[in-house]
Structure 1
């Protein structure tokens, strides 16, 4: 009987640990202040931290931060006019987390289901060669976890290999900030320890990128999710959440998704289906008889939902960047708000009404407004 109790306790402990890890993501940042040996300041990219952080926390994940030395990290590339950056810039609790990042040896890899390397020029220094961070990433990945990077944060996985010295991403498509976009004549570039694309290739990865830049380009290959530059931050974070949800479902068939998770999946079917040319995902998200509503020239404009979906061509991707802002649920009814940015054109604010019937949440109504993107002088 005692053996049975011990087995039950061990199983329960392992299950609890696994469940706990499912809802935790580890962010990797850098302590670098300067492009040494120069006195040119560098920093962690604020947008590349707060945008994914916002997506992850709204999806129910807890985020912890580490840096090679622990403690305060430099932040930069801040746009205080951006609503989401402004929100976190003046959030003392959040900023306190950045002021007290943990050292790598202060965290346990089995507490996390994903590791995310944020970018900024600082990410080129101190992270890639940190053996403890490499070990953490390796352990997370070995337990069906996700490894994710954005922009210069991809430098952090330059030397990522398994216990036998074999690249963890051999043959996989990886993106990050391409060397061709660097200003090679500038002093900052001359301090870089390596070029990201060449380092990824040397470690047997297949480096891919978009020649456009700023178009939200990202790559998902297995359990590696990587983004080219800040414009991909939301997409990368959403893909990580999607992968983790899938992994959780596969490893624990008894888990029942919450209404919040189901609504988020429905909204992502709309956001990602439109951006990636996947009309079947829109049909999954919307009720067959839904319409879209907006106001033009002080006149109500109603558009057929079926016509809207029909205009989405299979495989025709766009550079739309979407994020979920808020969801409010009451029993079998919910309202949601999302933002869709089309670079150099418009920012749309969408409002949705969703209802749950036959066990599934569907969007039955969408209304929206938009603002034109200010032209650069």
Structure 2
């Protein structure tokens, strides 16, 4: 019997689609959604996709370019069912941590703009974490941790090892104008023990039930850590 088949994972994506000051279109970096989505669903795990506004979740158009394509991205773009699910996301106010075994946030620049200040997302992350359930975020998505507090009122990430898109990657990619703040700087300011690997290479760290990955290449390893954590829970 596949004990993962009874597990449920909530995937939270951004609703933000354009940096108004630059006119640059943004959204979810599709590799960071597609890779974990298939790793989870192929194991029989039930996935729900939610966003702040519900409905069609924007995909960063740059992430759909051929040079960023992966096997999972190609599979997504030939998978009408998966595409429809990203077009019909559930509203964040309709999901509750108690109904799921883990939560996962894919990145892209979009999540940096609408998730850090979103009270529903903040509450969700805190609820999952306090319940001892895996809370996983990759690349720019750890921005969603900015205003999450622990039970004592301290930043949730204070004193924890946290990975996320590095300043050097942001600078090399010439994308600093697409961000409201530099993720690495924010994580350090909130008291996290920011850790990173080599630029563009997979790097994932777990601090208790908080799982964070550095960049798009880390999405697979983040999903594998979610699966391992779920497999450990009876």
Asked if Structure 1 and Structure 2 have the same fold, meaning a TM-score greater than 0.5 normalized by the shorter chain, the answer is yes
Q: In structure 2, how many angstroms separate the alpha carbons of the residues matched to 1:193 and 1:54? A: 30
In the alignment, is residue 216 of structure 1 matched against residue 193 of structure 2? no
Whether the aligned pair in 1 keeps the contact of 2:19 and 2:25 (CA below 8 Å) is yes
In the alignment, is residue 147 of structure 1 matched against residue 155 of structure 2? no
Q: How many residues align?
A: 228
Residue in 2 aligned with 1:120?
108
Residue 42 of structure 1, CA deviation: 1.4
Question: Structure 2-normalised TM-score?
Answer: 0.89
Q: Call closer, same or farther: CA 1:184–1:234 in 2, change over 3 Å.
A: closer
Q: In structure 2, how many angstroms separate the alpha carbons of the residues matched to 1:185 and 1:56? A: 29
SS of match in other structure, 2:114: coil
After superposition, what is the alpha-carbon deviation per residue over 1:296-330, rounded to whole angstroms, capped at 9, x for unaligned? xxxxxxxxxxxxxxxxxxxxxxxxxxxxxxxxxxx
Moved more, 34-43 or 222-231: 34-43
Question: Of the candidates 177, 180, 183, which is equivalent to residue 190 of structure 1?
Answer: 177
Q: Call closer, same or farther: CA 1:131–1:164 in 2, change over 3 Å.
A: farther
SS of match in other structure, 1:128: coil
Residue 125 of structure 1, CA deviation: 0.8
Which structure ranks higher in relative contact order (CA pairs < 8 Å, sequence separation ≥ 6)?
2
Larger strand percent: 1
Residue in 2 aligned with 1:174?
162
Question: Of the candidates 58, 64, 73, which is equivalent to residue 74 of structure 1?
Answer: 58
Q: In structure 2, how many angstroms separate the alpha carbons of the residues matched to 1:65 and 1:221? A: 24
Q: In structure 2, how many angstroms separate the alpha carbons of the residues matched to 1:61 and 1:208? A: 30
Give the alignment of 1:217-256 within 5 angstroms.
217-246=203-232, 248-249=233-234
Q: In structure 2, how many angstroms separate the alpha carbons of the residues matched to 1:85 and 1:136? A: 28
Query: CA-atom RMSD, angstroms?
Result: 2.2
Give the gaps of 5 or more residues in structure 2: none
Q: In structure 2, how many angstroms separate the alpha carbons of the residues matched to 1:108 and 1:21? A: 20
Residue 79 of structure 1, CA deviation: 5.0
Q: Call closer, same or farther: CA 1:122–1:223 in 2, change over 3 Å.
A: same
Residue 189 of structure 1, CA deviation: 2.2
After superposition, what is the alpha-carbon deviation per residue over 1:347-370, rounded to whole angstroms, capped at 9, x for unaligned? xxxxxxxxxxxxxxxxxxxxxxxx
Q: In structure 2, how many angstroms separate the alpha carbons of the residues matched to 1:20 and 1:58? A: 10
Whether the aligned pair in 1 keeps the contact of 2:162 and 2:195 (CA below 8 Å) is yes
Q: In structure 2, how many angstroms separate the alpha carbons of the residues matched to 1:89 and 1:145? A: 31
Give the gaps of 5 or more residues in structure 1: 1-18, 250-377
